[in-house]
Chains A and B, each alone.
Chain A
């Protein structure tokens, strides 16, 4: 794409304009034939790979079949693309009606592009069937819901049962502390001829702020007092230092975990059986249930001393402020939060927000030992693993990720890296 004396940027802008024009032309219009009353809703969400996408396609199909007057047209795109596409659509006067939420979309809320869903919630949703407290983060202004949660995601502890059997160790359980993890990891790390062929733990999976945060939280630490537009965050705290030092030591001091280069270079992950334990998202279950080479199990995130904290995240739908069919769009959202929750619970790909559906669902055959406890117990005291701030993505790119690189890739000084990142991020958050 090298053009003499024109810039990449302009090509991007040019292609944006093209998509913009294309985007304008495809929304609106009445779908369906014959029934003049039929309302077409444009909906954009991102793809999660073939297996999960098939479930989404099926969801839309079932909704359309059960609602003859509405047709939801879903566009599935790669994550990054989704945001560009929705953004251009929202900037136009004829925006997409519905879109799937993720944290970067908070910027659009700030611009007043989200429909306030609270009136609909008040009218149609029986909140006694949901965990109201867990929904709180989506009250961006502290009072009104702007995104309708459909599912939760969480982090959980996975272990290779076969490796534990081979080492003659007891399986992890809900009482495990990080000290227990380290002790087990040392016994599960196997070297042959000067090369480590099996590592006890994958500390690199904890290398992202919304994961390592759990270890700081468990000690009573915190990054932000309020996740809604914090004016400052705290990184240089004893709890966070201790947490990150512990994770770093797993790699460089105890050598029970590979570093990023070693892990990537050897194609090591839990699925290959070369890493005996890791903390990962429950969205990994889809690929883990395909494992045939060994047995595996789940446990809640280990405790730090007596404390435990589990980050959770939410998936859900938002409606564009300028949608021409708010009631029909809500009809779809409501359906995903109510009637469809039973199917969601059966599929077990995501954690349903509707308590009765979740509790009554039969667990499928593939679920491993410790599944129910690890995947659902946190609901009592989960903490949102997000931060909503216009500049958060910039802060992450510019300072948080480099800080993590310094600690986990360079093996640098934890305290210095934290102090520096805190100073820089706070300056950015407070800048105009």
Chain B
């Protein structure tokens, strides 16, 4: 606690800083108390042979070497990348379209916003079980819908070809979160920009390309980064709905990692795997960050193609 004499001397910026730390403290304390220890420990055991039941034996880089020779590691990474590579862009596009729809002014728009956002609140195992019904080849919503057009739908999660696409489709369930962020972004775009564009003779599509997209680019950037981080860690769907099958077609990286850790007594190996996965996510995130000057515009910047003014800072 501050003494009263000191608190009088506090400048406004100091006050703000203190407020900031107070608000951040739950996250920071949580990290220090609950996660930092295990993070460091997992870094250590990734260099050991550890099966939980006996003390870890130092093996140096052996886990990492074996990992890169493990065809299931590569297979699971491939599956995960396909999942992320399709579901992230798809999610970005769908969320943006939904946000634009919900950005209209009409009666009951708040109700629609709530409805579209709700699925993002419900998550995990319950959703997986719900979608199992949606994908049901005989009675599922999806095949019923396709049936209206005379299309005989596939067996979805029961089919080796369709299981992964099924889970990608299912990932759209949680676009509500990024949709909401887009919506906030859309509402932050000054109307005079649109008016100016209209005076210049821009049509709707042109306005979307030249005003909406650039003005939203920081939001797109944020959603892209969060999407990459989230989708590479996909686990629940593969664990609950398909158990990695049929024929390993949905063996996501984290699912395989989980099995190594808890079913095959290879905690050290799984930790090495986790660190590799972390580095992959870090690398991708850094790439996106590095690419941001090319396509992300903040309000104080001038638009247009890579302005030379920023060449020096890169």
Chain A interface residues (CB < 8 Å from chain B): 1-14, 17-18, 83-84, 87-88, 90-91, 104, 107-108, 111, 113, 260-262, 264-266, 390-391, 393-394, 397-398, 401-402, 405-406, 409-410
> Of A84, A111, A264, A397, which is within 8 A of B244 by CB?
A397
Inter-chain contact total with CB atoms closer than 8 Å: 115
- Distance A90 CA – B155 CA, assembled complex (angstroms): 43
Task: Kindly state whether residue B264 has any CB partner on chain A within 8 Å.
Answer: yes
A11–B261 touching, CB < 8 Å: no
Interface-central residue, A14, A18, A401, by most chain B CB under 10 Å = A14
Task: List 21 interface pairs A-B (beta carbons < 8 Å), by A numbering.
Answer: A2-B230, A4-B226, A5-B282, A6-B39, A7-B233, A9-B42, A9-B254, A9-B257, A9-B261, A9-B277, A14-B34, A17-B37, A87-B53, A113-B53, A262-B138, A265-B158, A266-B138, A402-B245, A402-B248, A409-B158, A409-B160
- Shortest CB-to-CB span from A184 to chain B, Å, is 26
A7–B53 touching, CB < 8 Å: no
- Indicate whether A262 sits within 8 Å of B137 (C-beta atoms), given known contacts A9-B270, A10-B274: yes
Known: A3-B35, A261-B159. 19 other contacts (CB 8 A): A6-B31, A7-B274, A7-B278, A9-B254, A9-B261, A11-B35, A13-B38, A14-B38, A84-B262, A107-B53, A111-B51, A111-B53, A260-B158, A265-B137, A265-B140, A391-B264, A393-B264, A402-B248, A409-B246
B253-288 interface code vs A (CB 8 A; 1 in, 0 out): 010011101111100001101100110011000000
The list of the 6 closest CB pairs from A to B, nearest first, reads A261-B158, A265-B138, A9-B274, A261-B155, A405-B247, A265-B137
A390–B265 touching, CB < 8 Å: yes
A393–B263 touching, CB < 8 Å: yes
- Shortest CB-to-CB span from B241 to chain A, Å, is 12
B247–A88 touching, CB < 8 Å: no
> Of B139, B140, B245, which is within 8 A of A401 by CB?
B245
Chain A residues in 8 Å Cβ range of B139? 265-266
Chain B interface residues (CB < 8 Å from chain A): 31, 34-35, 37-39, 41-42, 51-54, 72, 124, 136-140, 155, 158-160, 226, 229-230, 233, 235, 244-248, 254, 257-259, 261-265, 270-271, 273-274, 277-278, 281-282
Residue of B nearest to A1 (CB): B124
Chain A residues in 8 Å Cβ range of B42? 9-10, 13
> Of A87, A261, A410, which is within 8 A of B137 by CB?
A261
- Indicate whether A91 sits within 8 Å of B53 (C-beta atoms), given known contacts A2-B233, A260-B158: yes
Residue of B nearest to A14 (CB): B38
- Shortest CB-to-CB span from A99 to chain B, Å, is 14
> Of B35, B38, B51, B247, which is within 8 A of A402 by CB?
B247
Chain B residues in 8 Å Cβ range of A398? 72, 248
Interface-central residue, A17, A84, A90, A398, by most chain B CB under 10 Å = A398
Chain B residues in 8 Å Cβ range of A13? 38, 41-42
Residue of A nearest to B140 (CB): A265
Chain A residues in 8 Å Cβ range of B271? 9
Residue of B nearest to A84 (CB): B262
B259–A397 touching, CB < 8 Å: yes
Residue of A nearest to B260 (CB): A394
- Indicate whether A264 sits within 8 Å of B158 (C-beta atoms), given known contacts A111-B53, A394-B263: yes
Chain B residues in 8 Å Cβ range of A12? 258, 261
Chain A residues in 8 Å Cβ range of B230? 2
> Of A8, A394, A402, A410, which is within 8 A of B264 by CB?
A394
- Shortest CB-to-CB span from B9 to chain A, Å, is 36
B257–A410 touching, CB < 8 Å: no
A2–B229 touching, CB < 8 Å: yes
- Shortest CB-to-CB span from B260 to chain A, Å, is 8
- Distance A113 CA – B265 CA, assembled complex (angstroms): 15
Interface-central residue, B38, B54, B245, B262, by most chain A CB under 10 Å = B38
- Distance A397 CA – B264 CA, assembled complex (angstroms): 10
- Distance A6 CA – B34 CA, assembled complex (angstroms): 12
Chain B residues in 8 Å Cβ range of A107? 51, 53, 265
- Shortest CB-to-CB span from B77 to chain A, Å, is 15
A406–B35 touching, CB < 8 Å: no
- Shortest CB-to-CB span from A397 to chain B, Å, is 6
- Shortest CB-to-CB span from B2 to chain A, Å, is 31
Chain B residues in 8 Å Cβ range of A402? 245-248
Chain A residues in 8 Å Cβ range of B51? 107, 111
- Shortest CB-to-CB span from A203 to chain B, Å, is 15
- Distance A262 CA – B159 CA, assembled complex (angstroms): 11
- Shortest CB-to-CB span from A311 to chain B, Å, is 23
Residue of A nearest to B41 (CB): A13
Residue of A nearest to B157 (CB): A261
- Indicate whether A111 sits within 8 Å of B54 (C-beta atoms), given known contacts A2-B229, A4-B229: yes
- Indicate whether A104 sits within 8 Å of B138 (C-beta atoms), given known contacts A9-B254, A409-B158: no
- Shortest CB-to-CB span from B104 to chain A, Å, is 30
Chain B residues in 8 Å Cβ range of A90? 53
B254–A8 touching, CB < 8 Å: yes
- Distance A101 CA – B246 CA, assembled complex (angstroms): 29
> Of B54, B140, B245, which is within 8 A of A405 by CB?
B245
Residue of B nearest to A4 (CB): B229
Residue of A nearest to B225 (CB): A4
A10–B38 touching, CB < 8 Å: yes
- Distance A409 CA – B140 CA, assembled complex (angstroms): 19
Chain B residues in 8 Å Cβ range of A3? 35
- Shortest CB-to-CB span from A304 to chain B, Å, is 28
- Distance A195 CA – B61 CA, assembled complex (angstroms): 58
Residue of B nearest to A107 (CB): B265
- Shortest CB-to-CB span from B94 to chain A, Å, is 19
A5–B229 touching, CB < 8 Å: yes
- Distance A5 CA – B230 CA, assembled complex (angstroms): 10
- Distance A384 CA – B273 CA, assembled complex (angstroms): 36
- Distance A63 CA – B155 CA, assembled complex (angstroms): 50
Residue of A nearest to B244 (CB): A397
- Shortest CB-to-CB span from A94 to chain B, Å, is 15
- Shortest CB-to-CB span from B178 to chain A, Å, is 12
Chain A residues in 8 Å Cβ range of B160? 405, 409-410
B35–A6 touching, CB < 8 Å: yes
- Distance A371 CA – B86 CA, assembled complex (angstroms): 54
Chain A residues in 8 Å Cβ range of B246? 402, 405, 409-410
